[in-house]
Chains A and B, each alone.
Chain A
Amino acid sequence: MSNFSASINRLVDLVALAGSGILSLVWARVALSWFSNDITKKIQAKDRARDALIGTLLFMAAVTGLLYGLAHWVLTGS
């Protein structure tokens, strides 16, 4: 069981590392679009910012263990 937990944690670390890179890229692109002079890019930036926000919140909740804690609390009550 400890092996499984360790491998899951390792996977989470890997995905979190990769996700951090993607996160910075996504927000950089959103910022570029948001402050662009092109009106089309400005319109697209709103949708992109929404997706990026949802992704970031999910990402943070997963990495900090909030989701796991919630699921664990629902199941075991502790």
Chain B
Amino acid sequence: MPIPSVDLGDLVRTLLFLLFAGLTAIITAVIGPTYDNLLVPELQPSALFPPLLGSGSGGVNYLSTGARFSGYVLTNVVDPAVTLVALGVAVLYLSRSVVSRWADALDGLLPRLIIGVVGANFTVPIAGAIIGVAGGLYPIISGWDGGAWQHWVNLAGWGQVPFSWDNGALAFVLSLVEFAAVFVLVLAVGIRDAVLAVLLVLLPIFTLLWPLHPLSPLARRGWLLFGELAFLPCVLVVPLELAVGSPNPVMLVAYLAVAVASPFFLSLAGTSLVSFGFGGASGVVQSNAQRGLQVAPSAAASSFAPAANGIRTSSPAGGAFAGVTRVAGSAAAPAAAPLVVGELIGHGAWQLLRHVGPSHGKNGPSAQPPMLKGGAK
């Protein structure tokens, strides 16, 4: 009986598949419980938006503790400090009466003081209203598709076996990245809860300091950060929902990366969550690469500026060139290209409209310069 020949390549491939499939299965066995038993409970509406006042149905929670602490700080720190801030504002008003050039800078101090004192005393109800709106919106968004995102199996399938067969080592690496992303998400949601509670305690102090100009950014940024953190889960859960039934691990990693970066997307709205530990992968890129990308167009703009200014006055095309250099210099390199194209198209269209424009006919004035008496010579 002939012995069947064994192809050495197939043998090595099978061994490698078994090795990496085993490693991938081990990591997947860790990701599943991490996702299902840590992240998903953290992302439940009752955990993200517990009742702020009173025991409610959930008993003591991190926000109610923060609210009680906030009341304590309000009574013992903020209200006694009201006298001091009011005295400061009064002195500023008196100084404004003496030094007339300060009048504009110190305008509106009294209304700011009133708003600051009232706002500081009503921090917890205002924060409760923000949490209430976010807590009402979140179940709607997270409930799409029957909440299929709440099970890791729905996102990654059973052990990613089909992908492992063709891409053994890659599947292993991607599984590691998935685990890291899920773990960072768990940490991010935890940090979000902790920062919310801390802000609840500090916001009365920040709000009271709002009337004093040098300290007003504290209140503005604090409240903005509070609002963004309250609505963060509504943004964070969207990529997780879209990741259900991902065609391959690469796409799943991409969705998880977007979920991890969601605080950064929110921070584009105006504040910086990066400083609170929500940097994500984009932090390093932003601080180094973007700086380099911004330097190049600015340098180009500074090089071309004299030429552009020289041409600007000579012709419409010169104006367009000057506009293009200005726009290109004001944006980072990736954004500069479409802006330049937009500026060129816009300027071209404007020039075209000037020529085509409405026909003035017999009533309107002519766009052409008046001819000399006696016609053209």
Using a CB–CB distance below 8 Å, which chain A residues touch chain B?
A: 1, 4-5, 8, 11-12, 15-16, 18-19, 22-23, 25-26, 29-30, 44, 47-49, 51-52, 54-56, 58-59, 61-63, 65, 67-68, 71-72, 74-76
Given contacts A58-B110, A71-B79, A75-B74, contact A22 B94 (CB under 8 A): yes
Whether B44 sits at the interface, judged by CB under 8 Å, is no
Q: B100: which A residues are within 8 A, CB to CB?
A: 44, 48
- In the complex, per-residue mask of B106-120: 1 if CB is within 8 Å of any chain A CB, else 0: 000010010001101
A8 with B90: CB separation less than 8 A: no
A15 with B121: CB separation less than 8 A: no
Please, how many angstroms separate the alpha-carbon atoms of A76 and B95 in the complex? 34
Q: B113: which A residues are within 8 A, CB to CB?
A: 58
Q: A47: which B residues are within 8 A, CB to CB?
A: 103
A-B contact pairs, 25 of them (CB 8 A): A4-B76, A8-B81, A15-B87, A15-B88, A16-B87, A25-B98, A26-B97, A26-B98, A29-B97, A30-B97, A52-B94, A52-B97, A58-B89, A58-B93, A58-B113, A59-B90, A59-B94, A62-B83, A62-B87, A63-B83, A65-B83, A67-B82, A68-B80, A71-B79, A71-B120
Please, how many angstroms separate the alpha-carbon atoms of A62 and B74 in the complex? 17
Please, how many angstroms separate the alpha-carbon atoms of A4 and B75 in the complex? 12
Whether B345 sits at the interface, judged by CB under 8 Å, is no
CB-CB nearest in chain A for B89:
A58
CB-CB nearest in chain A for B80:
A8
Nearest-Cβ distance from residue A45 to partner chain B, whole angstroms: 10
Count of CB-CB pairs between chains A and B under 8 Å? 105
CB-CB nearest in chain B for A64:
B83
Given contacts A61-B86, A71-B117, contact A15 B91 (CB under 8 A): yes
Please, how many angstroms separate the alpha-carbon atoms of A74 and B81 in the complex? 15
Given contacts A26-B98, A44-B100, contact A75 B75 (CB under 8 A): yes
Partner of B121, one of A62, A63, A74: A74
Whether B349 sits at the interface, judged by CB under 8 Å, is no
Whether B96 sits at the interface, judged by CB under 8 Å, is yes
Please, how many angstroms separate the alpha-carbon atoms of A58 and B87 in the complex? 7
What DSSP secondary structure best describes chain B's contact surface? Answer: helix
CB-CB nearest in chain B for A19:
B91
B93 with A55: CB separation less than 8 A: yes
Please, how many angstroms separate the alpha-carbon atoms of A52 and B96 in the complex? 8
Partner of B86, one of A5, A22, A29, A58: A58
Most buried by B among A47, A48, A51: A51
Please, how many angstroms separate the alpha-carbon atoms of A48 and B88 in the complex? 18
Nearest-Cβ distance from residue A47 to partner chain B, whole angstroms: 8
Nearest-Cβ distance from residue B231 to partner chain A, whole angstroms: 28
Please, how many angstroms separate the alpha-carbon atoms of A52 and B97 in the complex? 6
B121 with A56: CB separation less than 8 A: no
CB-CB nearest in chain B for A1:
B76
Whether B19 sits at the interface, judged by CB under 8 Å, is no
Most buried by A among B77, B86, B94, B117: B94
Please, how many angstroms separate the alpha-carbon atoms of A75 and B90 in the complex? 23
B117 with A67: CB separation less than 8 A: yes
Please, how many angstroms separate the alpha-carbon atoms of A68 and B87 in the complex? 11
Most buried by B among A19, A22, A58, A68: A58
CB-CB nearest in chain A for B106:
A51
Closest 6 CB pairs of A and B: A55-B93, A58-B90, A62-B86, A59-B90, A51-B97, A55-B94
Partner of A76, one of B75, B80, B117: B75
Nearest-Cβ distance from residue A48 to partner chain B, whole angstroms: 5
Please, how many angstroms separate the alpha-carbon atoms of A65 and B117 in the complex? 14
Q: B121: which A residues are within 8 A, CB to CB?
A: 71, 74-75
A19 with B79: CB separation less than 8 A: no
Q: B87: which A residues are within 8 A, CB to CB?
A: 12, 15-16, 19, 58-59, 62-63
Whether B84 sits at the interface, judged by CB under 8 Å, is yes
A55 with B91: CB separation less than 8 A: yes
Q: A55: which B residues are within 8 A, CB to CB?
A: 90-94, 96-97
Please, how many angstroms separate the alpha-carbon atoms of A55 and B113 in the complex? 12
Q: B80: which A residues are within 8 A, CB to CB?
A: 4-5, 8, 68
Q: B90: which A residues are within 8 A, CB to CB?
A: 19, 55-56, 58-59, 62
